[in-house]
Copies of this chain bind each other. A is one copy, B any other.
Amino acid sequence: MPQGRGERADAARNRRAILLATEELLARHRPEQISMEQVAAAAGVGKGTVFHRFGSRMGLMLALMQERALTLNEAVVSGPPPLGPGAAPRARLLAFLDGIVDVVSRNKGLLAALGHAATTTHRRENDQGEGGESPIYRFWHRHVSELIAQARPELDADLMAHVVLGALHSTPVLNLLEQGESKRLSNALCTLAASLLDAPDGTPRPGLSSRRCNSGGVN
């Protein structure tokens, strides 16, 4: 993506320096105590430069995340099975979950930083109630959602994908990752996904697995 015609040499250099500095800081401190000023200083650059290149805290984190997720995304889109196209949806999903956990665990603080940025970033006039998700999340969600839909068309694939991916943003889970338990998470996520895809839904155990569970209000 960089030096894509028209990017000056010094600009490219500084961009890399900023990204690198952010990475280092993220590795050493909790994301919420890293200020943009610190990032700028660590990169040997003025604050204005950081904002000029990345627009906002959110932009910075997004750019970093995008870079980190790039190889995984490429593997999904055009790599060999089971991650890439060609394998059965079930196998692809399990492989992909593995891949995601891997990326996330290698970038422990980054997801948390993204979450933090999302709630911190100043909203100017865009009073839109909606708000946009990050492209990476969108990509991941679409992929998971499609795989679930292929394997189990009767499920609410869209929502299930959100639920599964949601686990990665959860603070307790992130803490676990911080302690090197990524294999454990990977196993749990795969078990969960496998259960969902293999569940005896539709015919067996009638009245047990698909019973309605909505009751009245509680609070």
| B-binding residues in A (CB < 8 A) | 30-33, 68-69, 71-72, 75, 83, 94-95, 97-99, 102-103, 106, 112, 115-116, 118-120, 123, 129-131, 133, 137, 141, 155-156, 159-160, 162-173, 175-176, 178, 183-192, 194-196, 198-201, 205, 208-211, 213-215, 217-219
Contact = CB atoms under 8 A, between A and B. Distances in A.
15 contacts: A31-B119, A95-B213, A98-B213, A98-B215, A133-B172, A155-B191, A156-B188, A159-B188, A163-B164, A163-B173, A167-B167, A169-B171, A186-B214, A192-B192, A194-B208
Contact of A115 (B98, B115, B196, B217): B115
Contact of A190 (B95, B102, B167, B213): B213
Given A163-B192, A166-B170, A195-B198, 9 more contacts: A71-B218, A102-B219, A120-B120, A160-B188, A187-B213, A191-B199, A192-B192, A192-B196, A198-B209
A213 B103 contact: no
A170 B159 contact: no
Copies, count? 2
B186 A71 contact: no
Q: Which of A83, A198, A205 has the most CB of B within 10 A?
A: A198
A198 B187 contact: no
9 cross-chain pairs, A with B, having the tightest CB-CB distances, nearest first = A166-B170, A195-B199, A163-B167, A190-B213, A166-B167, A116-B119, A94-B213, A159-B188, A195-B195
A159 B118 CA distance: 25
Nearest to A101: B214
Max chain B Cβ within 10 angstroms of own Cβ: one of A166, A169, A218? A218
A159 to B, nearest CB: 5
A171 B111 CA distance: 13
Contacts of A165: 170
B115 A119 contact: yes
A114 B131 CA distance: 19
Given A170-B169, A213-B187, A208 B218 contact: no
